[in-house]
Amino acid sequence: MTQAQAKAEVVLRLDLITKSFGPLRANDAISLTLRRGEVVALLGENGAGKTTLMNILFGHYVADSGEVDVFGQPLPPGQPRAALKAGVGMVHQHFTLAGNLTVLDNITLGTESLWSRGRGRAVARAKVEALARDFGLVVDPMAKVSRLTVGERQRVEILKALYRDAKILILDEPTAVLTPQEAEALFATLRKATALGLSVIFISHKLHEVMAIADRCLVLRHGRVVGEVDTHATDKARLAALMVGGELTLPKAEAKVAGPMLMELQSVSTPDRGPAPGLKAVSLALRAGQITGLAGVSGNGQAALADLMSGLAQPASGTLALNGAPVTQWSPRTAVAQGIGRIPEDRHHTGSIADFDLTENAVLEGYRSRFSKAGWMNWPAARAFAEGIIATYDVRCPGPATRIRLLSGGNMQKLILGRALAPGPQIILANQPVRGLDIGAIAYVQSQLIAARDRGAAILLISEDLDEIMGLSDVLHVMSQGRLSPAFPRGSMSAPEIGLWMAGQGFTEGRHAA
Amino acid sequence: MSDIIDILISASFWAAVIRIATPLIFATMGELICERAGVLNLGIEGIMVIGAFTGWMAVYQGMPLWGGVATAMAAGMLFGLLHSTLTVPFGLSQHVVGLGVTLLATATASFAYRLMLPEVTSPPKIEPFQPLDLPVLSDLPFLGEAIFQQTALTWAAFAVAALTAFTLYRTPLGLALRAAGENPAAVEAQGLSVTALRMGAVIVGSGLMALGGAFLTLSAFSSFFFEMVNGRGWVCVALVVFGAWKPGKAVLGAILFAAFDALQIRLQQTDLGAVLPYQLFLAAPYILSILALILMSRRAEVPAALMLPYNKGER
Amino acid sequence: MRLEPIANPSTLRRLGLPALALAATMAVATLLALVAGADPFATLGQIATGALGSRLAVLETLNRATPLIFTGLAVAVAFRAKLWNIGAEAQLYAGAIAAVLLGTGELGSPWVLPVSALAAMLAGALILLGPVLLKTRLGVDEVVTTLLLNFIMLLFVSYLLEGPLKDPMGMGWPKSPALIPEARLPRIVEGLRLHWGFALALIAAVLVWIIQTRTTLGFEIRAVGQNPAAARFAGIPVNRVLLKTALLSGGLAALAGWSEVAGLKGHLSQDLSPGFGYTGIIVAMLALLHPLGVVISALFVAGIFVGSDAMSRTAGVPTYIADMLLATALLFMVLAILLTKMRVVRG
């Protein structure tokens, strides 16, 4: 902290904020001070309570106790409107934009009295364009949001806050969805903002970003502040130890010799779905004993590839071959029958059925082939199978009759992992397998994937987290606009180089030589 | 064939089309407002019944016609309040609650009717709205009779449609309503209350549905019958889909639909009517509605958050 | 306000809230009686005695419950899969038509009952197949199509009764010829006005319960209803499950019409069903979509109707009080069920 900042006025003060959800204490007496022109990072792993704290500040939640002061005035709890009025702007991790409306409509939404006639779009548009210029946030105000890239959407989110003359910007995991270059541009915007007197709270679990942008850093663990440090006076290792609470390192995948090709896509294309691109003549080989990583900004065709591999979509052209034989019949059921273990991107909406118990969720894929006879369910066998998964995969739960919605994200993921891995699949699709999990669960899931690779499975790992991809993959591809890059062997590319591919550079029109 | 042409060039046919379209326009606008905000209101059929009954009963009890209109609207809004309380803050199934509201509103109308008129065998008539005599316009040849001899409620229906379109697309309120139907989280993040917007939309929309019902008793038939709404509400739900959730197209859909309805009534009196069973003509509106749904199934842009309850605590 | 899920709802909560919903319905009944200028306790008492007070009353209630069990099961099966079949009324009439078509002709006598029952189920299933195919193929909302089909079906019945199926002996009254004796469902006990349709309805309820809890189809139906995206991902053929559900649901609703014609009326007329199809929705919801619960709630609903009819003849409260009470009970019950799983919290 510089001398000037130390003297700068306090713009925001959180005082002993406490919030519980049922038995879980998400925030435990957290205090925070933010000064004018300062960037404070909230660092912590998933589930540490960062987002909850900011949702309280912004009025989405009401704290059980504690107070929020903005510019010396107490903020009434539970009113986003009051927070906005006091000059707090929030960029949510999951963007809050209406896709069918224009950028301008999204920005002006709620800024004028609902009972007024509105002041006309020309004025609003001029203001948006001026802000975009000043802060380096280029985006077409008249474009429909559903047509924008993820990076552009984030710019709209920031413009929303600036349009309301926000003095305090909260950014929740803003770089999670960006390319390294886009993240740099974001940092440039934030530096401009702080130079103009804005203050920023930057939520992240990525140490290098915190070190790069923040002046000060508050470390949260299990809902408590476990440290407050000046970023100029610390290093990554110390921050990491604070964040995790000891030495817990993620598993490292040692390089191995790849085996035969188990799954092959030859020039496969699938149709676009709305603004989401389909596959564009994608050729890909998954080999036994190898983790193939797929990097890319979300919404660039990863979902199309995952749908294809899990059986939800069929190739419109090109061929999909398993063990050298092209498949003709292709559905989720045949995919499971052909020995593909699938971990879906969204464990809540596609991976599990919230009000089903663990037994029912465990047999969701195998109920027909393994746990029934002539149309009659074999519930004792199903229960035994679920108990086996619970024991083998360390699912912490009261028992197989528990509804899965009551489990934590990590335990839910372990059950899904067990369901996919228990039959010993030769091919595994792992789509965002650790997103939103705490570090213990991340380490567990990753070690299971590595173990599966080591016994000879071919794994496709899809993730938006470049660090994760680079750490685990034996070979990696980048996707952009439905196109697939050539295969890059482990260690052959730096993060910025991959970032350029993620942004769509390097792709030649048409096909690549593999 | 010449029968059809004769019908189409008669002024009374077009006057009937506009008359038949009126309740559909009211109720379709009401449903459209609800759905644009993200709430499917299947209470529509029952709310039309309660509107028809309360409007008529109020006038029968001595209120002026416009008092009947206001009463009907208030009754509709009351059921809208019930519907929206259950579907918006509590997020209950819009299908189940909507059907429940329809059953309750219909039963309430029947119960109140029997309670207030225990003895009557045929319902009493009231003095209905009369066609407005517009200077010059009403006296035009053909057009005067075809278009410009309608009651004030009909003109009100078109005014409501124009106002709905204007509000939805040209005011901050309309923007907020549309956003609530597209992504409620976006609305909440901008400091507006999704609950208030959606409840307001359902309450106002239900008021308009009740007006549609009131037109039947106060302008079209001068009396109340149990079966008088007869599926019109469901037809309006189909019309919203047919109109791709846009007020202008929905009005056109209502007029098109009314034209077919007016045509089938007249065709029954022709040679064709002598050959085909009259039930086929009566079924035409329902068959047409299903065809409209099929036709528009792939094209329309459904509000993205339609039928999705919003609970801001959900993580 | 905000809703927060309750991890392990207490027994008190799970039983108390639905009981409270029924109590609240009773409070509304009291209010309605007062509005009608009647003594509320006497009114409620007369409804109860009207439904259960004599052997005749009980038999009447059981008879009234029979079609409601079938339509209630039809709705419960469909709603489990979140297939919004509001067309039980049309399917009911399809079953009734089948009963008449096969029951008035020359069909070999020992087989006429089972054949007409199967034909009825097939007819009802076909009626629902259209809307479900439109839903799975084109994404057309089945609520509106099944509702509209009800109106079309009623007009079709009207056409049949004035045309091809008109009873020449009907003296101008639109009704079908009577069923031959072999096509009629016999009474369960000779001398008591209760036909085998009631017993069949109970058997149907048990069979549906077994299907739902013990078979792969039941598992699939529940999975599709709870989360179609997860079901599809897991390899459950969602559209095929919806079609099977439709066949089952439409078939059950058709049995309501079939048993009314073959068991009770002996012929088809325009007023065969006073909205049994719609009331089936209430029956199913009050039973929390549980097939065995459907039996109990159908008896309850039938009792309210029969009792209200009897009460209105003496107490002067309109018989429509029954419809009001049941609609109220439906709304209170869905709210109560929600509150067994969620609690309302501030912020």
Query: Token pair for residue C75?
Result: 């709705």
- The pLDDT > 90 percentage for chain A reads 68
What one-character DSSP code corresponds to residue B151?
B
pLDDT at A48: 86
Q: A252 pLDDT exceeds 90?
A: no
Question: In what side-by-side order are the strands of the sheet with A10-21?
Answer: A24-35, A10-21, A65-70, A73-74
Q: Which of A48-52, B277-281, B282-286, C235-239 has the highest mean pLDDT?
A: C235-239
Beta bridge partners of A319: A266
Residue of B171, B175, B192, B197 to mutate when probing chain A, most A C-beta within 10 A: B175
What one-character DSSP code corresponds to residue C195?
B
- The verdict on residue A514 lying in a domain is no
Q: Region A294-303: what's the mean pLDDT?
A: 92
Residues of C within 8 A of A21 (CB-CB) are 4
Return left, alpha or beta for A507; rule: phi > 0 is left, psi -120 to 50 is alpha, else beta. Answer: beta
Residue of A85, A100, A111 with shortest CB distance to B301 = A100
- Record: contact B230-C151, CB cut-off 8 A: yes
- Domain end: A209, A244, A279, which one? A244
Q: Which is more confident, B299 or C71?
A: C71
Secondary structure of A259-300 as H, E, C letters: CCEEEEEEEEECCCECCECCCCCEEEEEECCEEEEEECCCCC
Q: A510 pLDDT exceeds 50?
A: no
- Mark whether A313 and A179 lie in a shared domain: no
H or E element at residue A409: helix A409-421
Q: How many CB atoms within 10 Å of residue B218?
A: 28
Q: What is the pLDDT of residues C267-317, one digit of tens each?
A: 999 999 999 999 999 999 999 999 999 999 999 999 999 999 999 888 888
- CA gap C256, C278 in Å, rounded: 12
- Record: contact C334-B96, CB cut-off 8 A: yes
- Mark whether A213 and A290 lie in a shared domain: no
- Mark whether A209 and A317 lie in a shared domain: no
Residue of B44, B104, B275, B315 to mutate when probing chain C, most C C-beta within 10 A: B104
- Mark whether A203 and A302 lie in a shared domain: no
Q: How confident is the model at residue A298 (pLDDT cuts 50, 70, 90)?
A: confident
* Nearest residue to A500 via CA among A488, A514, A513: A488
pLDDT at C5: 81
pLDDT at B315: 40
- At C193 the three-state DSSP class reads coil
Half-sphere exposure of B147 (CA within 13 A, CB side): 9
Q: Which is more confident, A234 or B209?
A: B209
- CA gap C272, C253 in Å, rounded: 14
Residues of A within 8 A of C14 (CB-CB) are none
- Domain end: A244, A274, A299, which one? A244
| B125 contact C CB<8A | no
- CA gap A198, A391 in Å, rounded: 52
Residue of B86, B96, B111 with shortest CB distance to C321 = B111
- Record: contact B234-C139, CB cut-off 8 A: no
| B237 contact C CB<8A | yes
Q: Region A48-62: what's the mean pLDDT?
A: 90
Residue of A17, A367, A412 to mutate when probing chain C, most C C-beta within 10 A: A367
Per-residue pLDDT of chain B (315 residues; tens, 9 = 90+): 677 788 888 888 999 999 999 999 999 999 999 999 999 999 999 999 999 999 999 999 999 999 999 999 999 999 999 999 999 999 999 999 999 999 999 999 999 999 999 888 888 999 999 888 888 787 888 887 878 888 999 999 999 999 999 999 999 999 999 999 999 999 999 999 999 999 999 999 999 999 999 999 999 999 999 989 999 999 999 999 989 999 999 999 999 999 989 988 888 888 887 888 889 989 988 999 999 889 887 766 789 899 888 886 554
Q: What is the pLDDT of residues C93-105, one digit of tens each?
A: 999 999 999 988 7
pLDDT at B149: 83
| B311 contact C CB<8A | yes
Stretch among B72-86, C63-77, C108-122 having the lowest mean pLDDT: C108-122
Beta bridge partners of A88: A168
Residues of B within 8 A of C166 (CB-CB) are none
Q: Region C11-22: what's the mean pLDDT?
A: 92
Q: Which of B 10-69 lie inside 8 A of C, CB atoms?
A: 42
- The pLDDT > 70 percentage for chain C reads 99
| A314 contact C CB<8A | no
Q: A511 pLDDT exceeds 50?
A: no
- Record: contact C4-A406, CB cut-off 8 A: no
- Record: contact C219-A367, CB cut-off 8 A: yes
Residue of A nearest to B188 (CA): A80
- CA gap A93, A202 in Å, rounded: 11
Q: What is the pLDDT of residues C185-211, one digit of tens each?
A: 888 887 788 899 999 999 999 999 999
Q: How confident is the model at residue C181 (pLDDT cuts 50, 70, 90)?
A: confident
- Record: contact B107-C324, CB cut-off 8 A: yes
With tokens 């979902």, the residue in question is: A303
Stretch among A260-274, C168-182, C193-207 having the lowest mean pLDDT: C168-182
- The verdict on residue A250 lying in a domain is no
Q: Which is more confident, A121 or A483?
A: A483
Amino acid identity, residue C7?
Answer: A
Q: Which of A 324-363 lie inside 8 A of C, CB atoms?
A: 331-333, 335-336, 342, 344, 349-356, 360
- The verdict on residue A137 lying in a domain is yes
Among the residues of A171-328, which ranges form H helices?
180-195, 207-213, 236-244, 302-310
Residues of C within 8 A of B89 (CB-CB) are 1
Q: What is the pLDDT of residues C249-263, one digit of tens each?
A: 999 999 999 999 999
Chains with ≥3 CB–CB distances under 8 Å to A: B, C
Query: Token pair for residue B190?
Result: 């901008």
Tell me the angle at which helices B232-242 and B11-36 cross, rounded to the nearest 10 degrees: 80
Q: Region C4-16: what's the mean pLDDT?
A: 86
Q: How confident is the model at residue A247 (pLDDT cuts 50, 70, 90)?
A: low
- Please state whether the predicted TM-score (pTM) of the whole model is above 0.80: yes
| B274 contact C CB<8A | no
Query: Token pair for residue B266?
Result: 């007249």
Q: How far is A65 from chain C (nearest CA, A)?
A: 12
Q: Region A350-377: what's the mean pLDDT?
A: 95
Q: How confident is the model at residue A10 (pLDDT cuts 50, 70, 90)?
A: very high
Q: Is residue A434 within 8 Å of A461, Cβ to Cβ?
A: no
- Mark whether A276 and A226 lie in a shared domain: no
CA A350 to chain centre: 16
Q: What is the pLDDT of residues A147-175, one digit of tens each?
A: 898 889 999 999 999 999 999 999 998 98
- Record: contact A101-B179, CB cut-off 8 A: yes
User: Distances from the Cα of A180 to the Cαs of A151, A200, A310, A434, A483, in angstroms?
Assistant: 11, 20, 29, 20, 19
| A126 contact B CB<8A | no
- CA gap C345, B251 in Å, rounded: 42
Q: A401 pLDDT exceeds 80?
A: yes
Chains with ≥3 CB–CB distances under 8 Å to B: A, C
Look up the CATH number of the domain holding residue A42: 3.40.50.300
- Record: contact B111-C320, CB cut-off 8 A: yes
| B314 contact A CB<8A | no
- Record: contact B238-C148, CB cut-off 8 A: yes
B173, with CB counted inside 10 A (0-12, 13-18, 19+), is buried
Question: Could you list the residue range(s) of the whole structural domain that residue A52 is in?
Answer: 3-244
- Domain end: A175, A210, A244, which one? A244
Q: Is residue C218 within 8 Å of C36, Cβ to Cβ?
A: no
- The verdict on residue A489 lying in a domain is yes
Torsion of CA A268, A273, A275, A280, to 10 degrees: 10
- The verdict on residue A255 lying in a domain is no
- Record: contact C230-A375, CB cut-off 8 A: no
> CATH top-level class for B2-115+140-296?
mainly alpha
Residue of B nearest to A96 (CA): B186
**Pairing of β A39-43 and β A216-221:** parallel
- The verdict on residue A249 lying in a domain is no
Q: How confident is the model at residue C106 (pLDDT cuts 50, 70, 90)?
A: low
Query: Token pair for residue A173?
Result: 């995991």
| A112 contact B CB<8A | yes
- Record: contact C86-B99, CB cut-off 8 A: yes
Residues of C within 8 A of B104 (CB-CB) are 324, 327-328, 331
Q: How far is A91 from chain B (nearest CA, A)?
A: 9
- Record: contact B115-C147, CB cut-off 8 A: no
Q: How far is A161 from chain B (nearest CA, A)?
A: 9
Residues of B within 8 A of A81 (CB-CB) are 191-192
- Record: contact C323-B82, CB cut-off 8 A: no
- CA gap A82, C341 in Å, rounded: 32
**Pairing of β A340-343 and β A325-326:** unpaired
- Record: contact C216-A367, CB cut-off 8 A: yes
Q: Region A375-402: what's the mean pLDDT?
A: 95
Q: Where are the domains of chain B?
A: 2-115+140-296
pLDDT at A512: 45
User: Distances from the Cα of A276 to the Cαs of A34, A303, A507, B202, in angstroms?
Assistant: 39, 8, 19, 33
Q: Region A400-426: what's the mean pLDDT?
A: 93
- CA gap A492, A502 in Å, rounded: 16
* Nearest residue to A366 via CA among A400, A333, A331, A388: A333
Mean pLDDT of chain A, nearest integer: 90
- CA gap A47, A222 in Å, rounded: 7
Q: Is residue C181 within 8 Å of C112, Cβ to Cβ?
A: no
In this complex, how many residue pairs, one in chain B and one in chain C, have their CB atoms less than 8 Å apart?
126
Q: A514 pLDDT exceeds 70?
A: no
Q: Region A12-16: what's the mean pLDDT?
A: 94
Distant-in-sequence, close-in-space partners of A84: CB < 8 Å, separation ≥ 6 = A164, A166, B190, B191
Distant-in-sequence, close-in-space partners of A388: CB < 8 Å, separation ≥ 6 = A422
H or E element at residue A404: none
- Mark whether A76 and A171 lie in a shared domain: yes
Q: How many distinct structural domains can be found in chain A? A: 2
Q: Region C163-186: what's the mean pLDDT?
A: 84
| B191 contact C CB<8A | no
Residues of A within 8 A of C233 (CB-CB) are 310, 312, 332, 342, 344, 350-351
